[in-house]
Amino acid sequence: MDILSQLKEKIISACLYYYIDFVYKTSKIEKSGKLEYLETEHPDKFILFIWHGDSYSYYPFLKGKKLNIVTTQNKRGGVISRISKYFGYDVMRLPDLAGDGNYIFQLKNKINKKNNANLVLSVDGPLGPAQEIKDFALIMALFSKRKILPLTIDVKHSIKLKNRWDNLKIPLPFNKINIRVNDSYRVEKQDRKEEFKTLKAEITKVMLS
**CA angle, 56 as apex, 53 and 58 as ends, to 5°?**
105
- Count of domains forming the chain: 1
Is residue 125 classed as helix, strand or coil in its secondary structure?
coil
Domain that holds residue 138: 3-207
How far is C-alpha 3 from the geometric centre of its chain's CA atoms? 29
Residues 48, 50: Cα–Cα separation, whole Å: 7
Predicted pLDDT at 208 = 96
pLDDT (0 to 100) of residue 65: 78
From first to last of its 209 residues, the chain has per-residue pLDDT tens of: 678 888 888 999 999 999 999 999 999 999 999 999 998 889 999 999 999 999 999 999 988 777 888 877 666 678 888 999 999 898 887 765 544 456 676 677 777 665 678 999 999 988 899 999 999 899 989 988 999 999 999 999 999 999 999 999 999 999 999 999 999 999 999 999 999 999 999 999 999 98
Model pLDDT, residue 48: 96
Question: CA-CA distance, 140 to 125, in Å (whole number)?
Answer: 14
Give Cβ neighbours of residue 204 (< 8 Å, ≥ 6 apart).
131, 132, 133
pLDDT recorded at residue 68 = 87
pLDDT at 99: 46
pLDDT at 62: 83
pTM of the entire predicted model? 0.90
